[in-house]
Amino acid sequence: MIFRKFDSAFFAFSFLILILISGTVQSNADVRVIGGKDADKEKYPFIAHLSTPEYSSEPFCGATYIGGKKVLTAAHCVVAADYDDTFLEVLMITIGDYDVTKKETEKQFSVERIVIHPGYDSQTLANDIAIIFLEKEPVGIDEASLPKMNMKNVFNSKTVLTVAGWGVTDEGNVSDILQEVDVNFVSDKLCRTSYEDYLMTGKTICAGDIIWGGIDACQGDSGGPLFYTDLDGTLVQTGIVSWGIGCALAEYPGVYANTGAHLSFIESPDKFLDGQITFVSDDTKSPNVPLGLVKYPITLQNTSDSVANVTSLYIDDGQLLTNPCKQALEPNQSCTIDTTLQVKTGRTIYEATAYTETASAPSYLPIDITGIGKDNVDNEDFASLKLPSVIVPLGKNPWSISDGQMKAVPSAGDGYSMTMLDKFPKGTLSFTAKNNTAFAGLFIYVNQKEVISYFTGEKNINLKLDQESNFVEFYYEGLPANENFGETVAVRDMKFKAGNIGLLSFVILIFFAYNRKIRNL
């Protein structure tokens, strides 16, 4: 994933490490307006750029003045503000610039504060939008027009959009003069075909040329505007330059934050800071799940000082659950909501949004899952494990199975190997795991929950499987195959014991045992 943010001397500042940690790192691919031309000098009086003149005069992101003290940009451009207060002290916003090498009619402003969308996620780039509040309100500067609604459902393949910025150009250098290029709207369906492993929702817009390529935003254009032209000739900002894979590639159109889907946040960003509830996330949870319908519990917690009534939970696969917690949540109280996701092969990212009765700010949760398909292991080899016949082997770069044991087979690329055993009934799975490698770890998950973390050595392990249907994941992480000197991890002596005979069965057994005793008297 390429953040369309320019790598200048700005990164020499002390918050470089913070930006790297937060994930706002780009690759060496181009990031600019590709295939564009010099913009008309008077066309974009509201366009802006971000820089840190104390360290570099070059802009590192674009932005747009939208009225009052507010400037609109991408969250990943300013996420350093969450980690380092000095970022605000050196950040400068320039509005109305055209040639960055000349001092003309542009105006510069210091920053008072920044509000990043509370649903921004540095891994998925969900809700990649932020509002910068200037210390002083600009005078005599036109503001950009915003849509009245989410225009994505109005656009079609013939819709022409325009992106503008000072990013890298066809020559491979950043442009001193503001560039613009027309790009074609790309539907969600086509965009998901390109970006099957990334988040595509109603809150994003894709644009580019999916036949020939050659036109796009790129590095240095992040945070800048994507416009459509209204019937009266007015430029209306429908998007914010966010990310893409490479630049101007036909198979990978540019991805933009959809301003029409964020109008409430743009109008009143401070209200989005007043949320009552948060999602309780588990960083140890595995994203890997079997294909088909999968149970996915979601936990919400009331983090406010007052009672919170969760009115609805929406997942952008179409699920809408009303009154999901069944009762109001007292301060610090939480509830777990059982949802079901339809999982397809490969990685899918959904977004869950929870709303409360009194707070204006919803809460957001990215759901990152990867559907794992069936492993084509030889039936005879799999039978050597002596597991119940209902068990199904799944895998992504799977372990080898033979002679009653499983062995991790690290990939040549990143050194991982994963096998999943699906459809275990209730009971206990026991086995011996051996990991004598110097640079690898074994992780084991039951129904996505981590039960063994970075295990090394040799150990007898018992796993309790307490659902009607369970899946167990064995994940090896180590050196790539061409560097691991033949070292690997093995699991052997697997045994499954059915458990939890249930209350009714227990009563029946007691009844027959009692009758047998009576007959023997």
Task: Please give the CATH topology (third level) of the domain spanning 274-372.
Answer: Immunoglobulin-like (2.60.40)
Averaged pLDDT score across all residues of the chain: 85
Other beta carbons within 10 angstroms of residue 509's beta carbon come to 11
- 483 band by pLDDT with thresholds 50, 70 and 90: low
Does position 507 have pLDDT exceeding 80, yes or no? no
Q: Whole-angstrom distance between the N-terminal and C-terminal Cα of the chain?
A: 77
Answer with the residue of higher pLDDT: 285 or 83: 285
Least confident of 3-7, 151-155, 505-509: 505-509
pLDDT digits (tens, 9 = 90+) for 304-343: 999 999 999 999 888 999 999 999 999 999 999 999 999 9
Which residue carries 């894979």 as its tokens? Answer: 245
Work out the number of other CB atoms within 10 angstroms of the CB of residue 146: 18
pLDDT (average), residues 195-217 = 81
The alpha carbon of 268 is separated from its chain's Cα centroid by a whole number of angstroms, namely 24
Q: Which residue has the higher pLDDT, 71 or 7?
A: 71
Span 256-264, mean pLDDT? 95
Average pLDDT over residues 423-449: 91
What is the C-alpha to C-alpha distance for residues 110 and 69, in angstroms, rounded to an integer? 11
209 carries an active-site annotation: no
Q: Residues with Cβ < 8 Å from 267, sequence gap 6 or more?
A: none
Name the residue among 103, 102, 87 with its Cα closest to residue 52: 87
Task: Compute the average pLDDT of residues 417-438.
Answer: 92
The catalytic residue among 222, 286, 304, 363 is: 222
- Of 50-59, 279-288, 464-473, 476-485, the one with minimum mean pLDDT is 476-485
Within the chain, which residue ranges are assigned CATH 2.60.120.200? 383-498
- What's the 3-state SS for 297-351? EEEEEECCCCCECEEEEEECCCEEEECCCCCCECCCCEEEEEEEEEECEEEEEEE
Residue ranges matching CATH 2.40.10.10 in the chain: 30-273
Q: Is the pLDDT of residue 122 over 60?
A: yes
Question: Would you state the CATH architecture of domain 383-498?
Answer: Sandwich (2.60)
Q: Is the pLDDT assigned to residue 23 strictly greater than 60?
A: no
Q: Rounded to the nearest 5 degrees, what angle is found at the Cα of 177, between the Cα atoms of 175 and 179?
A: 80
Q: What is the pLDDT of residue 30?
A: 33
Q: 97, 128, 209, 216: which one is catalytic?
A: 128
Mind listing the pLDDT tens digit for each residue in 33-48?
777 789 999 999 999 9
Taking only the tens place, the pLDDT of each residue in 375-400 is 989 999 999 999 999 999 999 889 99
Query: Are 394 and 366 contacting, i.e. CB atoms less than 8 angstroms apart?
Result: no
Q: Report phi then psi at 132, rounded to 5.
A: -100, 125
Residue 368's pLDDT is what? Answer: 87
CA-nearest of 486, 468, 469 to 478 is 486
Q: What are phi and psi of 510, to 5 degrees?
A: -65, -40
Q: Which of 262, 265, 221, 260 is nearest to 243 (CA)?
A: 221
**What span, in angstroms and rounded, lies between the C-alpha atoms of 292 and 392?**
13
Q: Determine whether 128 is an active site residue.
A: yes
Please state the three-class secondary structure of 2-28 as a single string.
EECCCCCHHHHCCCHHHHHHHCCCCCC
76 part of the active site: yes
Confidence of residue 209 (pLDDT cuts 50, 70, 90): confident
Question: Does residue 154 contact residue 138 with C-beta atoms inside 8 Å?
Answer: no
Could you write out the three-class secondary structure of 22-75? HCCCCCCCCCCCECCEECCCCCCCCEEEEEECCCEEEEEEEEEEEECCEEEECH
If we measure between CA atoms, which residue out of 277, 468, 297 comes closest to residue 356?
A: 277
* Higher pLDDT among residues 115 and 35, named by residue: 115
> Per the residue annotation, which of 30, 49, 51, 76 is the catalytic one?
76
Average pLDDT over residues 453-458: 85
Q: With 0-12 CB in 10 A as exposed, 13-18 as middle and 19+ as buried, what is 519?
A: exposed
- Structure confidence at residue 84 (pLDDT): 81
Q: What is the pLDDT of residues 273-308, one digit of tens each?
A: 878 899 998 888 999 999 999 999 999 999 999 999
What's the CATH number of domain 30-273, 2.40.10.10, 2.30.300.10, 3.30.565.10, 3.50.30.30? 2.40.10.10
DSSP class of 81: G
Confidence of residue 521 (pLDDT cuts 50, 70, 90): very low
Instruction: Looking at 319-462, list the stretches that DSSP marks H as alpha helix, in order from N- to C-terminal side.
Output: 379-383
